[in-house]
Structure 1
């Protein structure tokens, strides 16, 4: 059964960030951020090389907005409060409401990396997932060699459940890539909620 929350779209504020779903007009900022960060991001995110214009980015934004309303994919855009700069994105994907389970994915503009922004952004979104959406199981998947992503997963309280061998096509080289599966359960998050405050 699909969970519901108040009809107004959720937004969050942290010390340095404003976090909200994609909105019409975000395409220019999204495109500029992806282009600036392409060399860094394309190693892990194949879709980065497929975004070739601002208008295409705007189409993606409006599609993501509709997906959010339909509760089929829940993406959030991150903005720096002081400058209104586009910082990155966090999303809940591969949603199975009947469990309920979902995957969390994220990326940061390279100009904002190394400042703790993603850890700051994900904390209220974990509370949103487990408390408002009643998620039972939250997965985080990444390449075993993505040390930054793995470190963040562990800092957030996720546990490494498995490493799938050669289950994806490699994004940069030919051949195959492994995938780490990290998991955080509702019960674990609730028991350790002081960790995330």
Structure 2
């Protein structure tokens, strides 16, 4: 089946969270604020956030994410607290290969929500969605070997560490070579 014909919900729900596609006006402002509040932690791991983006740049990023969602090239969801409707972070299925089918999952969380299990809950939901709705045969997580919080999420969710690729990438700031941990879960 052509992936464009797949029905994909714009919202997923967990016990505490709502995951929804980035398609509402004003999403850029909310995400921008979380990036600004979390920039010191984000810049350690994401080259995209070495400098804080503008609200306009974040809005463009989210609109492009929505286009990619519609094209079935990636599925980014914004994460909101069910009770307060506060923005918590993002998680996505990306690097999709529909022929196998497989993908990778990515995520980041606003610093003020870190340590409460929100990201583990959100990623669990998205991984189950990918395995059950899309019938992905493999979902991977790649992260820098020193990113212990990201690695902990993969391990809590039962992902298997397949190996560590030495000198695989540059650090987020581009100043040194880093090792990449490759995790996967298969169906």
TM-score range, shorter chain: over 0.9
Task: Quote how far apart the aligned CAs of 1:172 are.
Answer: 3.4
Task: Quote how far apart the aligned CAs of 1:49 are.
Answer: 2.6
SS of the residue 1:162 aligns to: strand
SS of the residue 2:44 aligns to: coil
8 Å Cα contact 2:12-2:20 kept in structure 1: yes
Q: Which runs of 5+ in 1 are unaligned?
A: 187-197
Task: Quote the Cα distance in structure 2 between the aligned partners of 1:175 and 1:142.
Answer: 15
Number of corresponding residues: 185
TM-score (norm 1): 0.89
Structure 1 match to 2:48: 47
Task: Quote the Cα distance in structure 2 between the aligned partners of 1:13 and 1:143.
Answer: 29
Instruction: Provide, for residues 31-82 of structure 1, a one-character-per-residue CA deviation record: whole Å limited to 9, x for no partner.
Output: 1100110001110111123552101111111110010010011111001112
- Mean alpha-carbon deviation: is it higher for 169-178 or for 146-155? 169-178
1:147 aligns with 2:148: yes
Structure 2 match to 1:15: 15
Task: Quote the Cα distance in structure 2 between the aligned partners of 1:49 and 1:65.
Answer: 23
Instruction: Provide, for residues 151-179 of structure 1, a one-character-per-residue CA deviation record: whole Å limited to 9, x for no partner.
Output: 11011010000111111112236221110
Structure 2 match to 1:162: 163
SS of the residue 1:42 aligns to: helix
Q: Which runs of 5+ in 2 are unaligned?
A: none
Structure 2 match to 1:24: 24
TM-score (norm 2): 0.93
Distance change >3 Å, CA 2–CA 178, structure 1 → 2? farther
Structure 1 match to 2:68: 67
* Map 1:1-197 → 2, pairs under 5 A: 2-3=2-3, 4-6=5-7, 9-25=9-25, 26-172=27-173, 174-186=175-187
- Mean alpha-carbon deviation: is it higher for 115-124 or for 47-56? 47-56
Distance change >3 Å, CA 40–CA 78, structure 1 → 2? same
Structure 2 match to 1:190: none
Task: Quote the Cα distance in structure 2 between the aligned partners of 1:104 and 1:183.
Answer: 10
Distance change >3 Å, CA 92–CA 106, structure 1 → 2? same
Distance change >3 Å, CA 106–CA 38, structure 1 → 2? same
SS of the residue 1:30 aligns to: helix
SS of the residue 1:71 aligns to: coil
